[in-house]
Amino acid sequence: DSGVTQTPKHLITATGQRVTLRCSPRSGDLSVYWYQQSLDQGLQFLIQYYNGEERAKGNILERFSAQQFPDLHSELNLSSLELGDSALYFCASSEGSNTGELFFGEGSRLTVL
Amino acid sequence: AQTVTQSQPEMSVQEAETVTLSCTYDTSENNYYLFWYKQPPSRQMILVIRQEAYKQQNATENRFSVNFQKAAKSFSLKISDSQLGDTAMYFCLIHEQGAQKLVFGQGTRLTINP
């Protein structure tokens, strides 16, 4: 158990819809990272937050947004969903903003029909 | 741009053999961390081993060791006495202290055959 909790584990929705994925980092970790992993693909970095502030942005679509709340949990919002958004979305946390090991959640599997 | 290259999309060895997975990276930073993560069929991401760039000594964790060549920007993973449970996707990761992005390699699918 990494200590990182992601909900929901599985989500099936239709094109055009909007979903929210939630991540609770490990206790004490200030950084949260979001990654997207499509079928048989590598991990695409989406965005990083540190202590409530956006720190880095990767290949995140404009239809996607995220935030980190004062209690350090984070949410990834995906809107106007397309078939190609079907993927496993990972959240990871680390203690600092730019050092150390990433602890991964089990991922949220999104299926867009 | 920060890049990580894993040149072996797939590898397959027999149980108990030794296997080496390659990883090369590009960075302009002097201070960074390197990691190998494994992703078994369960899809959980699990840390295998880490290496701080300022340390010359290669990291070792039981059957797992790395060959870190800083000048060549190479970070290979050696798995000794491979076991069936080592079957997984293996990802190389660089974490620069200066930059904020973390970049994974494309992954190597390793299969250990009985």
pLDDT value at residue A2: 84
Which tens digits make up the pLDDT trace of A1-26? 889 999 999 999 999 999 999 999 99
Does residue A106 sit at the B interface (CB-CB below 8 Å)? yes
Match 């880490």 to its residue by tokens.
B50
Give the tens place of pLDDT for each residue, A83-93. Answer: 999 999 999 99
Q: Is the pLDDT of residue B1 over 60?
A: no
Within an 8 Å CB–CB cutoff, is residue A102 touching chain B?
yes
b (16+ CB within 10 A) / e for A61-80: eeebebebeeebebbbebee
The DSSP letter of residue B71 is T
Residue B3 in tokens: 């890049």
Candidates B46, B91, B101; nearest CB to A42: B91
Cβ of residue A56 closer than 8 Å to a chain B Cβ: yes
State the pairing for strand pair A10-13/A108-112. Answer: parallel
**Any idea what the Cα angle at residue B45 is, between residues B25 and A56, rounded to 5°?**
55
Residue A99: which of A42, A55, A60 has the closest Cα?
A55
